[in-house]
Amino acid sequence: MEPIMIIHGGAEDVPEEMIPCKTRGVRKACNIGYRILTQCGGSALDAVEAAICYMEEDEVFNAGRGSALNEEGDIEMDASIMSGDDLSTGGVTIVKEMLHPISLARMVMEKTPHVLLAGEGANRFANDCGMPRVPNCQLITEWAKIELEMVKKSERLPRCDTVGAVAMDRCGHIATGASSGGLTGRMVGRSSDSSKCGAAIYADDRLGGVSVAGHGESIVKLCLAYNIVNQLQCGKSPQQAVQNSVNEIEDRFCKRAGAVVLSKCGNVGVFFTSHRMPWAYTKGKKMYYGAKPGELNVSDCSCS
């Protein structure tokens, strides 16, 4: 199969001045994942993990460093990963003091009999795995502090973006992942869609893979990622499927969302009802990318 790498950087009403940084970030993450698929013989899971790790390090995204703060000004992060090969999945919720929740999610998938670890138990598992502790103060950015104050004063809406990735490797295996710093000003202990297979992510080699973003509570209520994959099963194209399901979020809950979708045949769908959703995908020798509704840029792939 032809390797394909798809990235999104969150569906939200991003301030206009942040768009170039976010677009640059998703393109870089897409290159990192695609290089693993094409040059390093890596699996779809490897590509998804590496691409999301990059975005967790780039503080322009709401994941890892740069995570949105809860009502007490602290960080609690969520992540999940899924392999379409055998539907294995792993997730973590309300974890602290780590730069790469996505890597811990993969360890939950591969090293435990469980699919989701929460809170202190998840952090203890991270210690047992030798994952380095990064104090939350090193993950909290000045922008996140300013944003929390603005949200508390109702001067801006809370961020509810996520980062996500979907990949297909040469074996035709599909993987997907998500990582999020959560909703600005949320309650302590709020667990987001990004930790949940079926909500933020879903992958099944027989059908396709999805990673979604947007208002997490609505995404959970509609099982958005599974909902989209299910439409592929009913014969919808990836673009039709993502439009139907994301529009249903708006119709039923008046909330915004977005998603990137890959079918088992290698067709791609991208759609969002938010003001912006930075996205990029690489297929063949081309990278496609955009951030505004209807925007489609094409460039030669620099890493195949």
Phi, psi of 148 (to 5 degrees): -60, -40
Closest CA to 88 of 2, 173, 172, 188: 173
Q: Which of 38, 162, 176, 184 is catalytic?
A: 162
| Contacting positions for its own copies (CB under 8 A) | 76, 87-89, 93-94, 112-122, 124-125, 186-191, 196-199, 202, 216-217, 220-223, 226-227, 230, 252-253
Quick one: 42 or 208, whose CB is closer to its own copies?
208
Quick one: 217 or 250, whose CB is closer to its own copies?
217
What is the per-residue burial (b if ≥16 Cβ within 10 Å, else e) of 278-292? Answer: bbbbbbeeebbbbbe
Q: Are 176 and 165 in contact (CB under 8 A)?
A: yes
Quick one: 37 or 69, whose CB is closer to its own copies?
69
Strand partners, 247: none
Quick one: 226 or 279, whose CB is closer to its own copies?
226
Tell me the closest approach of the beta carbon of residue 252 to its own copies, in angstroms.
7
For residue 196, give both structure tokens. 């949940």
Quick one: 55 or 199, whose CB is closer to its own copies?
199
Tell me the closest approach of the beta carbon of residue 189 to its own copies, in angstroms.
2
Quick one: 39 or 112, whose CB is closer to its own copies?
112
Query: Identity (one letter) of the amino acid at 216?
Result: G
Tell me the closest approach of the beta carbon of residue 116 to its own copies, in angstroms.
4
For residue 54, give both structure tokens. 């990059």
Tell me the closest approach of the beta carbon of residue 292 to its own copies, in angstroms.
28
Residue with tokens 């690489």: 282
Residue with tokens 């996505």: 102
**What is the rounded distance in angstroms from the CA atom of residue 96 to the CA atom of residue 107?**
16
Q: How far is the CA of 10 from the CAs of 63, 153, 184, 198, 230, in angstroms?
A: 10, 24, 14, 17, 22
For residue 121, give both structure tokens. 């138990």
Q: Are 89 and 115 in contact (CB under 8 A)?
A: yes
273 is catalytic: no
Tell me the closest approach of the beta carbon of residue 66 to its own copies, in angstroms.
22
Tell me the closest approach of the beta carbon of residue 23 to its own copies, in angstroms.
30
What's the sign of the alpha-carbon dihedral 259, 260, 262, 266? positive
What is the 3-class SS of 72-122, one letter each residue? CCCCCEEEEEEECCCCEEEEEEEECCCCCHHHHHHHHHHHCCCCEEEHHHH
Catalytic residues: 162
